[in-house]
A = this chain, B = another copy of it.
Amino acid sequence: MGPVKGVRSKRMPRAVRERQMMDAAVRTFGQRGYRAASMDEIAELAGVSKPLVYLYLNSKEELFTACIRREADALIAAVRAGAEPRLAADRQLWAGLAAFFTHTAVNPDGWAILHRQARTHGEPFAAEVATMRDEIVAFVTGLIGAAARETHRESELAARDMAGLAQALVGAAESLAGWANETEGVSAKEAAGTLMNFAWMGLGDLMKGARWSAR
């Protein structure tokens, strides 16, 4: 089971300790929020004394920034790993969404930090996460453009339209991530399916009985 959280286990190499601290910080920041989280609590959860946290991570601000970066990188990596580039664009989108829902479900504190906390506590942090979100939006925009080219020789979608659409899609995904994690029995794949139906087919078509499917 590894060392029990909250109990001091002495003399570990720095890298290990640092990981423990970051884990504790992500959990505490995710659940309490940046301001409400105290360094005392983080240190206790990590099973170390407060000075050690400062020795390794320097300050609350730097610690939070480090958490944001770690979680952002992990999320991006998960999505990219999910969306295999050999697939068709719409299938890539579906797979990316599924990976996204899976990752956020498995890693709720990290998701809370990125989605809620970082954007609520001042420019430096918000900028950090905005960079990551922009990366995802760009990724999605690229997929939409690719899909358009695959489907029709001459797409009628202007660049600015695509940006708005990508914003809407990402926002919808973020919202569904919360919903899926809270609603009993909604799996990541299910959520991804719902969103693909919504995004790809549109409400109008859905009402006529049309459905998007992986093939």
Q: A residues engaging B (CB < 8 A)?
A: 33-36, 90-91, 94, 116-117, 119-122, 144, 147-148, 151-152, 155-157, 161, 164-165, 167-176, 178-179, 186, 191, 193-212, 214
A126 to B120, CA, bound (A): 14
- Docked Cα-Cα span, A207 to B154, in Å, equals 9
Q: Are A205 and B208 in contact (CB under 8 A)?
A: no
Interchain CB contact under 8 A, B36 and A33: no
Partner of A198, one of B35, B117, B202: B202
Q: Residues of B contacting A90 with CB < 8 Å? A: 212
Q: Are B195 and A168 in contact (CB under 8 A)?
A: yes
User: Could you list 20 examples of A-B contacts with CB < 8 Å?
Assistant: A116-B120, A147-B203, A151-B207, A156-B207, A157-B207, A161-B194, A164-B179, A165-B194, A168-B173, A168-B175, A168-B176, A168-B195, A168-B199, A196-B212, A198-B199, A198-B202, A201-B212, A202-B202, A202-B205, A205-B205
Contact of A200 among B175, B202, B209 (CB under 8 A): B202
Instruction: Tell me which residues across on chain B come within 8 A of A173, comparing CB atoms.
Output: 168, 171
Interface of chain A: mostly helix, strand, loop or mixed: helix
| Contact indicator A212/B208 (Cβ below 8 Å) | no
Inter-chain CA distance A36–B164, complex, in Å, is 32
Residues of B within 8 A of A195 (CB): 168
Least Cβ distance of A189 to chain B in Å?
9
Which residues from chain B contact A119 at a C-beta distance below 8 Å?
Answer: 116
For A179, what are the chain B residues with a Cβ–Cβ distance below 8 Å? 164, 167
